[in-house]
C-alpha cells in the first residue's frame, strides 16, 4: 500500500487523487469525468451485489478550458446571447450538459474544479457538499484580503452579496449519481470578463460578475491560487491528497 494512503487511513483522512489537467478541451474533460464517475459507480454496484466492501476512489481535478459556454439541464437556451456565427466570432463552443444550474462561461484564467467524490466516503448531503466547496473558495479569497460570502437562494460565491453591488466570483453546478459527484465550480481568477457579456450568467440578469484580478487590480499567479484553494478543499473535506 502507498505510504501516503497508509498515513491518510491512520489519521482518518480520505485519500483523494489530485490531478491538474491544465488547459483542456471541455468535451475531453467531460468525457474523462464521466469515465471516472462510471468506474466508481461500478465499484459501488459490485459491492452491493456481492456484499463486498471494495474501497472507492476520490478524485479532485483542476483545469482551465478554452472559451466555452455550458447550459445546465435546468437552464434556458435564451440566456445565451450569441448565435452560431457569434460563437465562431468569439472562438467559443457551446454545450448542453447534465449538471444542475443554468448557463455559465469557462475560459483561460478561470480555475475550474471537478471533484469526482464518493460522498459515502465523506457525508451524504449534497447541500453540505455545495456549501463546503463554497467555503473553500471563500477562505481562498480571504487569503487575498477579500471578504466574500453567499447570496441567499443561489449557489456560488459572491462579493457584497448583501447590497446593490453584489457580484459573483465563483459559479457552481454539480451532478450526483449514487452519491458520486462530477462537474463542480468555476472560480474567476484572471479570466476575461467580457465573455460574460454574451450570456445571462446563471440566469441572473441583474447582478454583475467579477474576478480576483479585477478586484485586486493585477494578474494572479494561477499556481499560487490553485495551491491555496487545493489546501482549503483538502482541509474542509478532511482529504489526504495523493
What would the pLDDT profile of 74-86 be if each residue is shown by its tens digit? 899 999 999 999 9
At 101, is the pLDDT very low, low, confident or very high (cuts 50, 70, 90)?
A: confident
CA distance 157 to 146: 12
pLDDT at 153: 86
CA distance 115 to 97: 17
Q: What is the CATH number of the domain that holds 64?
A: 3.30.930.10
* CB distance 47 to 179 below 8 Å: no
Residue 15 maps to a domain: no
pLDDT at 203: 62
Per-residue DSSP letters for 117-185?
A: -BGGGT-S-HHHHHHHHHHHHHHHHHHTT---B--TTS-SEEESTTSTT-EEEEEEEEEEETTEEEEEE
Residue 72 maps to a domain: yes
The answer to whether 105 is a known ligand-binding residue is yes
Residue 8 maps to a domain: no
Residue 90 maps to a domain: yes
Question: Does the pLDDT at position 200 exceed 90?
Answer: no
Residue 13 maps to a domain: no
At 134, is the pLDDT very low, low, confident or very high (cuts 50, 70, 90)?
A: very high
The answer to whether 99 is a known ligand-binding residue is yes
Residue 230 maps to a domain: yes
Residue 91 maps to a domain: yes
The answer to whether 161 is a known ligand-binding residue is no
pLDDT at 154: 87
Dihedral sign of CA atoms 193, 67, 113, 4 in order: negative
Structural domain total, the chain: 1
* CB distance 236 to 136 below 8 Å: yes
Average pLDDT, the chain: 93
Mean pLDDT of 68-79: 92
Residue 170 maps to a domain: yes
% residues pLDDT > 90 (the chain): 84
Mean pLDDT of 166-183: 95
202 is catalytic: yes
Domain hosting 231: range is 20-241
Question: Does the pLDDT at position 119 exceed 60?
Answer: yes
The answer to whether 12 is a known ligand-binding residue is no
At 193, is the pLDDT very low, low, confident or very high (cuts 50, 70, 90)?
A: very high
What global pTM score does this model have? Answer: 0.92
Q: What stretch of H or E contains 89?
A: helix 84-89
Q: For 204-241, what is each residue's pLDDT tens digit? A: 666 799 999 999 999 999 999 999 999 999 999 999 99
Question: Does the pLDDT at position 202 exceed 80?
Answer: no
Amino acid at each position: 500500500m502507498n505510504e501516503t494512503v497508509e498515513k491518510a487511513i491512520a489519521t482518518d483522512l480520505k485519500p483523494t487523487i489530485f490531478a491538474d489537467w491544465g488547459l483542456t478541451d471541455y468535451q475531453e474533460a467531460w468525457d474523462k469525468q464521466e469515465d471516472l464517475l462510471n468506474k466508481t459507480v461500478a465499484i459501488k454496484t459490485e459491492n452491493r451485489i456481492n456484499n463486498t466492501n471494495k474501497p472507492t476512489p476520490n478524485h479532485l481535478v483542476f483545469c482551465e478550458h478554452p472559451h466555452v459556454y455550458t447550459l445546465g439541464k435546468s437552464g434556458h437556451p435564451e440566456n445565451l446571447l450569441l448565435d452560431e456565427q457569434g460563437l465562431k466570432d468569439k472562438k467559443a463552443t457551446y454545450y448542453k450538459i447534465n449538471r444542475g444550474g443554468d448557463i455559465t462561461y469557462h475560459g483561460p484564467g478561470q480555475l475550474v474544479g471537478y471533484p469526482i467524490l464518493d460522498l459515502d466516503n465523506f457525508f451524504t448531503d449534497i447541500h453540505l457538499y455545495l456549501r463546503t466547496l463554497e467555503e473553500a473558495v471563500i477562505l481562498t479569497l480571504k487569503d487575498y484580503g477579500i471578504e466574500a460570502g453567499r447570496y441567499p437562494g443561489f449557489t456560488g460565491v459572491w462579493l457584497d452579496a448583501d447590497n446593490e453591488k453584489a457580484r459573483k466570483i465563483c459559479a457552481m453546478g454539480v451532478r450526483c449519481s449514487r452519491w458520486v459527484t462530477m462537474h463542480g465550480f468555476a472560480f474567476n481568477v484572471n479570466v476575461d470578463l467580457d465573455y460574460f457579456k454574451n450570456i445571462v450568467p446563471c440566469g441572473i440578469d441583474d447582478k454583475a460578475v467579477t474576478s480576483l484580478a479585477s478586484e485586486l487590480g493585477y494578474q494572479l499567479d494561477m499556481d499560487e491560487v490553485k495551491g491555496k484553494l487545493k489546501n482549503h478543499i483538502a482541509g474542509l473535506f478532511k482529504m489526504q491528497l495523493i
